[in-house]
């Protein structure tokens, strides 16, 4: 998640735009908030692409396909204007981690997690195909892992009127897609099988898949299910509904965990939710004001406060040397008594950013940062607190925490006594037998804006 850039929209369709979630070849996706406080993901077509009629037609079909597929396993569309001057679509924002990122960061998913993933994606494809839509690009990057289950996203290729040859992602495309033949619902099943193989083994899925081992040998049923999905003949592949029935009949070895994902993945999802609750702030103030303030600071260092007056935005200049006041020339005024020194206001109190860790511990390593100035500690005893002062004229404070620990801990951040973040690690609800002995990793961050000092009108 990145702060907004200068030319990014600040509102669309009644949604306040808060931050950038990502950018691709065709569109930018923003984090937004509705008037009622609902977080949404707003996809906006690039301006140069929006000027092409065929691209606009494609986006109209994409909105229709996304709306038709929206449901439990695909974020629903909550608003759209594909024909507007700025074409956009808003879907429900879901705190999540893409499947490919989870595997790259934390390793293959355990068998029970892959089975839950398979069941959720099979349900998603049942709904998608029932709506008359073929996704055509089922792959790890288009699968979001959430605390409640997987979500299938990005119906851009599904919306294509006449998909070009090789429309899809190498390594996850069906043989018929590679051959340039029409891709029906069975093609999505093949891609689902490749996606499941990536999730549990990271092997045999093409160039996009890092090296790894075979699927869990103790779960023969899962291994067979993946192989059946990836049969060369589309007619021999099970339908999504049949996949769901097979997974329901055979729950697999072991007892399914209360939380369907490993603790580090759930912690990453929790961190994403915290980041969305405190999105990074865009730079404030007009470009002209920022330029003047920066120039004023440079002049003050080299030429004294008198020259600063030349940079005032009201256009007034300092008096010329010949017209300078007696005080400015260092002489005594006519009264013979020196004029009193002008009173200066004391500097405003700085803002206090406080970090606090409580719980069992121990904490092996802790890195905390305010305004991107990190400090690293090792073997930290709990409870632990640290206070950092930030000049109020800064206008905001960015904070972050990154730690490795054992046991259960709670980490909090307060700004001037107001709590802006409170999270637990490992995530609540994960039995100790499932999450293992640790160590666990946790990271979180955000940015808080605060009022300007008295007398700063922000002009």
The catalytic site residues sit at 137
DSSP H or E stretch at residue 369 = strand 363-370
Phi, psi of 142, rounded to the nearest 5 degrees: -100, 15
Phi, psi of 380, rounded to the nearest 5 degrees: -85, 130
Burial (0-12, 13-18, 19+ Cβ within 10 Å), 90: buried
In this structure, the number of other CB atoms found within 10 A of the CB of residue 275 comes to: 20
In angstroms, the Cα distances linking 91 to 30, 40, 191 are: 11, 6, 24
In this structure, the number of other CB atoms found within 10 A of the CB of residue 132 comes to: 10
Distance CA(192)–CA(258), nearest Å, equals: 24
Report the chain's terminal Cα–Cα distance, integer Å: 29
Given phi > 0 = left and psi -120 to 50 = alpha, else beta, which region is 4? beta
């Amino acid at each position: 998640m990145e702060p907004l850039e200068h030319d990014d929209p600040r509102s669309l369709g009644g949604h306040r735009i808060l931050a950038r979630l990502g950018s691709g070849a065709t569109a930018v996706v923003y984090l937004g908030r509705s008037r009622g406080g609902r977080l949404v993901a707003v996809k906006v077509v690039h301006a140069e692409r929006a000027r092409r009629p065929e691209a606009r037609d494609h986006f109209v079909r994409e909105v229709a396909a996304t709306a038709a597929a929206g449901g439990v396993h695909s974020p629903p569309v909550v608003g759209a204007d594909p024909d507007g001057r700025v074409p956009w679509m808003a879907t429900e924002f879901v705190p999540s981690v893409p499947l490919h990122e989870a595997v790259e960061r934390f390793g293959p998913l355990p068998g029970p997690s892959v089975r839950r993933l398979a069941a959720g994606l099979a349900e998603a494809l049942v709904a998608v195909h029932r709506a008359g839509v073929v996704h055509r690009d089922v792959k790890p990057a288009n699968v979001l892992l959430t605390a409640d289950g997987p979500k299938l996203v990005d119906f851009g290729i599904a919306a294509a009127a006449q998909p070009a040859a090789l429309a899809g992602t190498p390594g996850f495309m069906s043989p018929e897609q590679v051959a340039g033949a029409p891709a029906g619902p069975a093609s999505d099943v093949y891609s689902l099988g490749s996606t499941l193989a990536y999730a549990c083994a990271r092997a045999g899925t093409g160039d996009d898949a890092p090296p790894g081992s075979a699927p869990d040998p103790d779960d023969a049923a899962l291994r067979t299910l993946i192989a059946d999905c990836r049969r060369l003949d589309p007619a021999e592949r099970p339908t999504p509904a049949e996949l769901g029935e097979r997974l329901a009949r055979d729950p697999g070895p072991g007892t399914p965990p209360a939380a369907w994902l490993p603790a580090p993945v759930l912690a990453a999802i929790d961190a994403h939710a915290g980041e969305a609750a405190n999105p990074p702030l865009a730079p404030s103030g007009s470009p002209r004001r920022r330029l003047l303030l920066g120039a004023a600071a440079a002049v003050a260092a080299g030429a004294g406060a008198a020259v600063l007056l030349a940079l005032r935005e009201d256009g007034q200049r300092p008096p010329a040397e010949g017209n300078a006041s007696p005080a400015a020339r260092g002489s005594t005024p006519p009264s013979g008594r020196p004029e009193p020194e002008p009173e200066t206001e004391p500097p405003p109190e700085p803002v206090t950013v406080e970090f606090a860790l409580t719980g069992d511990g121990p904490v092996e390593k802790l890195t905390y940062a305010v305004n991107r100035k990190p400090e690293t500690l090792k073997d930290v005893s709990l409870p632990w607190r640290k206070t950092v002062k930030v000049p109020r004229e800064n206008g905001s404070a960015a904070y972050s925490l990154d730690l490795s620990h054992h046991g259960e801990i709670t980490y909090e951040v307060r700004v001037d006594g107001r709590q802006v973040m409170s999270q637990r690690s490992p995530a609540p609800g994960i039995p100790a037998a499932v999450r293992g002995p640790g160590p666990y990793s946790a990271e979180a961050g955000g940015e808080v804006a605060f009022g300007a000092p008295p007398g700063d009108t922000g002009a």
